[in-house]
Amino acid sequence: MKQNSFKFNLARIELVPMILLLISCFPLFSAEIKKPSSNLTAILQKNLFFSPLETKKDTQQLPVFITSIKEPEPLDKTYSLSGTFVFTDEPEKNTAVLIENSSKKIIFLKNGDIINGNRVISIEDNGVLFQSGFGEKFLLTQSGIKALVPQPKRFYFRVNLKSAIQYLTMKPDVVYSIKFSHVDSPSGFKVQEIEPQSIFESAGLGLNDVITQINDKVLQSPDDAMSAYIDILKSGKKIALVKAIRDKKLIELVYFLE
What is the 8-class DSSP label of residue 33?
Answer: T
In one-letter notation, the amino acid at residue 107 is I
* Residue from 136, 127, 130 nearest 111 by CA: 130
- Edge-to-edge strand list for the sheet holding 114-115: 114-115, 118-124, 127-131, 137-141, 144-147
Specify whether the CB–CB gap between 190 and 96 falls below 8 A.
no
Q: How far apart are CA 168 and CA 161, in angstroms?
A: 10
Given this model, what pLDDT does residue 35 score?
A: 39
Q: What is the pLDDT of residues 146-165, one digit of tens each?
A: 988 888 899 999 988 788 77
Q: Give the pTM.
A: 0.69
Q: How far apart are CA 240 and CA 200, in angstroms?
A: 15
DSSP lists the bridge partners of residue 127 as 124
Q: Is the pLDDT of residue 257 over 90?
A: no
Q: Where are the beta strands (DSSP E) in 20-105?
A: 66-69, 79-87, 95-100
In one-letter notation, the amino acid at residue 198 is S
Q: How far apart are CA 161 and CA 21, in angstroms?
A: 11
Q: Is the pLDDT of residue 4 over 70?
A: no
Q: What is the pLDDT of residues 89-147, one digit of tens each?
A: 999 999 999 999 999 999 999 999 999 989 999 999 999 999 987 788 999 999 999 98
Q: What is the pLDDT of residues 196-242, one digit of tens each?
A: 888 889 889 999 999 999 888 888 887 887 787 778 777 777 888 89
In this predicted structure, which of 34-48, 119-133, 151-165, 244-258 has the lowest mean pLDDT?
A: 34-48
Given this model, what pLDDT does residue 42 score?
A: 52
Q: How far apart are CA 46 and CA 51, in angstroms?
A: 6
Give the pairing type, strands 106-109 and 66-69: unpaired
